[in-house]
Amino acid sequence: MEAATNDLSSRLAFDTQGLGNLKQAAKAGSPEALKSAATQFEAMFINMMMKSMRDATPQDGPMDSQQTKTFTSMLDQQTSQNLAKRGMGLADVLVRQLGSQAANLQAQSQALAIGSDGSAMPAPKSAEAMMSTPGALATTVASSGLSSGISASGRVQAPHVRAFQDQVGPDAEAASKATGIPAKFMIGQAALETGWGKRVISNADGSSSHNLFGIKAGAGWTGKVATAVTTEYVNGVPHTRLEKFRAYDSYADSFKDYAKLLSDNPRYEKVLASAGDPSKFAHGLQKAGYATDPLYAAKLSKIISHSLG
């Protein structure tokens, strides 16, 4: 059994046949099988985090192609497997949880158990069921107390995505109540404009402008101003320019101004009307002239659906 387990653990993280064998091994309940299953769980978790990080980074450069993406995906899978062998702590937690479930199942082998009130109660999940799908994986990770990187839909989030979402989430929720735009959509746009908060425009003294949405300081703006180099597209061709942008005292003020801009400007009326769909929202913004980057809508849709979904 040990030799077979070691052979399985050397496979790529998402080898379907390997996962099927691991589920059967986990069902058997031996310590070696449970350890191998938990290690594979950990490899899947790491791989999903790496994929989320890739999704959060626009990949439309001249060196990007389907071939390079395929190679990168294969490399990520093997890297996640290697990291899981070293261990990040999740496998140990899962071994304890899966082992406990196996012990319970041995004592409760029937599909249903009778509750104290005489009603039918589902038996505990088997180790096999706990690793049947990515959704089951997310549920298992959440129940293990390591749920900080899991989104509401069960998607594994990269640490920088979760950190940014936690930082601006309350302000996004407040702006959502004012506009009807889901907070997740606005967080996604702020992430695209600032590189997940890493490239917020700075004031002349080096302090943050707190401008999360790249809103420029036009003739009607009477507040503080920050100057920065930006890229604008004219007929699809990028041009570098020095522009003036609005500056705020806080991220909350940035969200409030963004909400006011979209609510008060008639050209964004259709954007607000399509706020229930990430793709329609993103393409509506681009069509209304919010950004000149021809790939803006595609990038924003990807962030909302994949990184924050």
Residues taking part in catalysis: 232, 257
Contact between residue 187 and residue 308 where contact means Cβ atoms under 8 Å apart: yes
**Nearest alpha carbon to residue 37 among 22, 16, 47, 48:** 22
Looking at the DSSP assignment, which residues form a beta bridge with residue 156?
150
Contact between residue 32 and residue 1 where contact means Cβ atoms under 8 Å apart: yes
| 278-287 and 183-194 helices, crossing angle to 10° | 50
Is 248 exposed, middle or buried (CB count within 10 Å of its CB: 0-12, 13-18, 19+)?
buried
Q: How far is the C-alpha of 255 from the C-alpha of 41, rounded, in Å?
A: 38
The residue type found at 266 is: P
- Find tokens 């969200």 and name the residue: 255
- Find tokens 């695209």 and name the residue: 192
Q: What angle do CA 11, 16, 19 make, to 5 degrees?
A: 70
Please enumerate in sequence order all residues whose Cβ is within 8 A of that of 129, keeping only pairs 6 or more positions apart, or say none. 136
H/E run at residue 246: strand 237-246
Q: How far is the C-alpha of 45 from the C-alpha of 79, rounded, in Å?
A: 12
Contact between residue 61 and residue 47 where contact means Cβ atoms under 8 Å apart: no
The residue type found at 188 is: G
Please enumerate in sequence order all residues whose Cβ is within 8 A of that of 12, keeping only pairs 6 or more positions apart, or say none. 18, 74, 77, 78, 81
